Amino acid sequence: MQDAAATTDTIAAISTPPGRGGIGIVRLSGPQAATIAADLVNLHKPLEHARARLADVLDTPEAGSERIDEAVITFFAAPNSYTAEDLVEIAAHGSPVVLDLLLRRAMELGARLAEPGEFTQRAFLAGKLDLTQAEAVRDLIDAQTLTQARQAASQMGGALSRRVTPVKQDLLELIALLEAGIDFAEDDVEVTPLTEIARRIGTLQPPLAALEASFARGRIVHDGLSLAIVGRPNAGKSSLFNRLVERDRAIVTATPGTTRDLVTERISLDGIPLELVDTAGLREAHEEAEQMGIARSREALADAALVLVVLDATQPLNDEEHSLLAAVEGRPAIVAVNKSDLAGTDGVRLDLAATESAGLVALATSALTGEGIAALRERILALATGGAAAEPGMLTSLRHQQAIATARAALADAAKANDGGIPHEMILLDLYRALWALDSLTGQTTPDDILNLIFSTFCIGK
């Protein structure tokens, strides 16, 4: 991707999703955006900043051409636009034919097709957004739950930057203090005591530690998790799956072994994206189709982030279930003792006690009556988030987490060097390493190849 700040070209793209719709938008940004737009359509009034203008989209650019659509043109003059350049948005009816016509004509008039994320990259390079805010634009577009959208909107508003900025400021003050002591040592500038350096480094670590801890929930909100539902045939796995999905997604019969293949469905559990995987019942099978289904079940069990083991409250544990409980020991797992409405209280208590040796939380449930389903949802959510609470400015990507972890490690090295009486010049190397890590988070020192990788994941037109 080209350096948008160093170019003088005008870019154009269709900014709405492919296909037919009520409205479709063609966006232009660059020094010729207004000129191209004026030649592209027949404006009823001249363009004016932040004003919408009606215009006719003509069949051909020649005089006397027939009108094929009516559009609304909005012009934003530099620097008061998303990209800090002259920007025009042409909102026509969402006909792919009309939008393609407008885009092709814009390129004939001197624009070039925008690369993925180039509008947002220009906004970033112009200082309109920092890198965390730019990444949040992509996250908002990709959001599948309201919680994801809220998190992205919070990041777009600078929530993460606001958490990092005070730490960076304190770090810069410490660096300046040490630099002054080195540069002006001959002018009797007092050398900063070791205890003061230690105190200042110590105050930087807690907010960074809290920020890094937020990744536990932020990553889950951003990426979601998979949950495999496993157990013996006819234990009620598909019925519980349907209860959690809240519709009859999986086939349920009284015949054991009905599920032969994986059935998946994505749901939102209190805003957490969760992919449920209903699996074939685990048992010794002779039919080839069921054997293949059981093999896939074991693969799903191995790959899932969370496991829901379903036991039958009316049946004693068999060898397969004992092996299953041993296999999930130490993993994030829940045991649902299903069909609790059909078993006596003593029977349910027996099965619940049988899971204690594996260190698993067991809940009595009934997919038929709905008993225990609410508690099961709460337990799944608690297991998914690890009890971490939502907070503004959470870390949501591995890139963010690695930057904070690098900064914390550098500060720890600086503290160790200070305790050992190492010269300030060497301590400064660690402090600068921490500063560069924090700068990479918001984009001040991010290499071009990383920027290109980030913006290439955007859709064209954004």
Percent of the chain at pLDDT exceeding 70? 86
Rounded CA-CA distance 83/154 in Å is 20
The CATH number corresponding to 141-214+394-442 among 3.30.365.10, 1.20.210.10, 3.40.50.1000, 1.20.120.430 equals 1.20.120.430
4-129 CATH choice from 3.40.190.10, 3.40.50.720, 3.30.1360.120, 3.30.1600.10: 3.30.1360.120
Report residue 252's pLDDT band, with 50, 70 and 90 as the boundaries.
very low
When pLDDT is cut at 50, 70 and 90, the band that residue 116 belongs to is: very high
- Greater confidence, 387 or 34? 34
pLDDT, residue 74, reads 97
The residue extents of the domains of the chain are 4-129, 141-214+394-442, 224-385
Q: Where are the beta strands (DSSP E) in 408-448?
A: none
Q: Which CATH class is domain 224-385?
A: alpha beta
The two domains 4-129 and 224-385 share their CATH topology (first three levels equal): no
pLDDT at 245 over 70: yes
Q: Judge whether 306 and 256 are in contact, CB under 8 Å.
A: no
At 20, list the tokens: 């037919």
263 — pLDDT class (breaks 50, 70, 90): confident
Residue 48 makes CB contacts below 8 A (sequence gap 6+) with 75
Strand arrangement, sheet containing 225-231: 263-269, 272-278, 225-231, 306-312, 333-338, 361-364
| DSSP alpha helix (H) spans, 214-307 | 215-223, 237-245, 288-303
What tokens appear for 309 in the block?
Answer: 């083991």
Spatial contact of 30 and 10, defined as CB atoms under 8 Å apart: yes
Mean pLDDT, rounded, for 218-238: 86
Nearest Cα to Cα of residue 73 among 56, 59, 61, 91: 91
Residue 358's pLDDT is 62
R_g (Cα) of the chain, nearest Å: 30
| pTM: predicted TM-score of the whole model, two decimal places | 0.77
Residue 250 has pLDDT above 80, yes or no: no
Averaged confidence pLDDT in the chain: 84
Confidence band for 202, pLDDT divided at 50, 70 and 90: very high
pLDDT band at 291 (very low <50, low <70, confident <90, very high): low
pLDDT digits (tens, 9 = 90+) for 153-165: 999 999 999 999 9
Res. 290: pLDDT tops 70: no
Task: Give the highest mean pLDDT range of 12-21, 326-335, 442-451.
Answer: 12-21
82-86, 147-151, 170-174, 339-343 — which is least confidently predicted?
Answer: 339-343
The distance in angstroms from the start CA to the end CA of the chain is 14
pLDDT in tens, 390-432: 778 889 899 999 999 999 999 999 999 999 988 888 999 999 9
Over residues 97-108, the mean pLDDT reads 94
Alpha helices in 224-304 (DSSP H): 237-245, 288-303
